[in-house]
Chain A
Amino acid sequence: MSTLKNQGVTDAEHAGHLLRQMLRVRRLEEKCIELYSAAKIRGFLHVYIGEEAVAAGVMEALAPEDAVVATYREHGHALLRRVSAGAILAEMYGHAEGCCRGRGGSMHLFDAATRFYGGNAIVAGGLPLAVGLALADRMAGRQRVTVCFFGEGAVAEGEFHESMNLAALWQLPVLFCCENNLYAMGTALGRSESQTDIALKAAAYEISAWAVDGMDVLAVEQAAGRAVDAVRSGGGPHFLELRTYRFRAHSMFDPELYREKSEVAQWMERDPISLLQGAMQEAGQLPEEDWAALQADVDAEISTAVGFAENGTPEPVSELSRFVYSDRAEDGGYTGDGGTAERDTRSGKGGAEG
């Protein structure tokens, strides 16, 4: 049966909000899988099903001026950081209406308005960026926090050590959030780390670090709130190890040979959405019609988003060379694919570098 952290659900309206947030992510990811199967979404797709409580809980603690750096499993983070579901799906359709004009795709969602510094397909590639964003805030004397999400797989990368050390050395306002879902693609934690207690690793840099039940959205929200406040008030970097589990494969083409079905089933019994839903119903805070209405709202949001993505348009190929540099001809004379262009035609406009 659902077991939330001891004090159970306090404020019904807020709990409803958290439930809605998690359900929005769940339905968005389920739709992504369906659209991928129908070959509408291509490339790689990594879904967040099972880990929704982490994003929902941490995002509650952030202010609009804070910054977020995430990984290639970032649809949920983007959605809950207020990037619209339509812009996210259109991006995965490769359409110009996507949040990055169709250039980033599932693994590279960015949004300047919400300071969402995006997906990053290189494991741990985002950690130094987060440190730098925090460095800028500290040097400019701003009270902003940068949150950096990464999986336990990143802990094995050199950049994890370098970033943690820099953040601690310079007491930078960054919150490290390690989403420990036990598997780095096909490698279980025990087969990649000598020391598997992630929070203990962080403590070695004298960064205060807590392990949190990543399936309990209230626990996550409470821990994240305390950590963000400490960071914002100059308490230096903080580290959360959020123990969670992904119910689906690493990505769309993973036959999941590395783990037992029984383990998946066992974790699914603590589905973060069912946990909160059960607790609220137990506390009489979620009448059937509210729950039905909430699901209908979410389904409507998702189908509107699909419509938006379907009606999107491809970015004109003529725009391809824009934003390689900040809008000026990249190379004065060279006409891109060159060839034996006559000399006088050589002054063609700059193009994508051939």
Chain B
Amino acid sequence: MPESLAITKFSDLANPTRFLGLAARILPWMAGITAILFALGLYLTFSSEGDYQQGMTVRIMYVHVPAAWLSMMCYSVMAVSAIGTLVWRHPLADVSHKTAAPIGAAFTLIALATGSLWGKPMWGTWWVWDARLTSVFVLFLMYLGLIALNRAMDDPGKAARVSAVLILVGFVNIPIIKFSVDWWNTLHQPASVIRVDGPTIDKEFLWPLLIMAIAFTLLFFTLHIAAMRNEIWRRRVSAQRRMAARMAGQTPAKEA
């Protein structure tokens, strides 16, 4: 098969079989690099000094910020896939946004939990209803709602289109989360890494944070590709079972 040439073409990546082949090849590498980055990141995290203002608790940042970043990036990935579903009617796009939802929910949960654990010593309370926290919580509910929607519908194609519409409508929440700390005066501190005028954060914290962020991002993509592969397998099993049911009807029934 002349696949070496065609593999570069996006349209051929569309072929689930081709995707499975690619996934099988790159998944071990991605998993390995993720593990190495996590080891390095965690080492840097625990060897760094505490912040003079926030003390040792600044170490929570190295989990909290990457998780919060992923909770938004995952939704953006889902939004792109949703466009893929609605505009190009791409079967892999369906699979992509369906499988990203549980992963996104998990990372949002980490962001909420670690934020809460950071807030208790800093602000003296587990939870406040300020703009940033509330909008992230709404994001979490949206992830769960999408999971429930996908589970509630029998026909995966229809479920994918309906949830794609919902994902795109819900995308308005992402800018609200990102800019909530600038637009409203909240307890949550403003962004210090991704800014127009360059990061304000101290170099000492920046490196571990960056490495942890890259490690988390790679972890997300590894899990997402693996989950997509599972979903493709699941649909294959389902298709083959349906076919098996049809074939059993055609063979002459045995006399009892």
Whether A associates with B in a native complex is no
A interface residues with partner B (beta carbon < 8 Å):
none
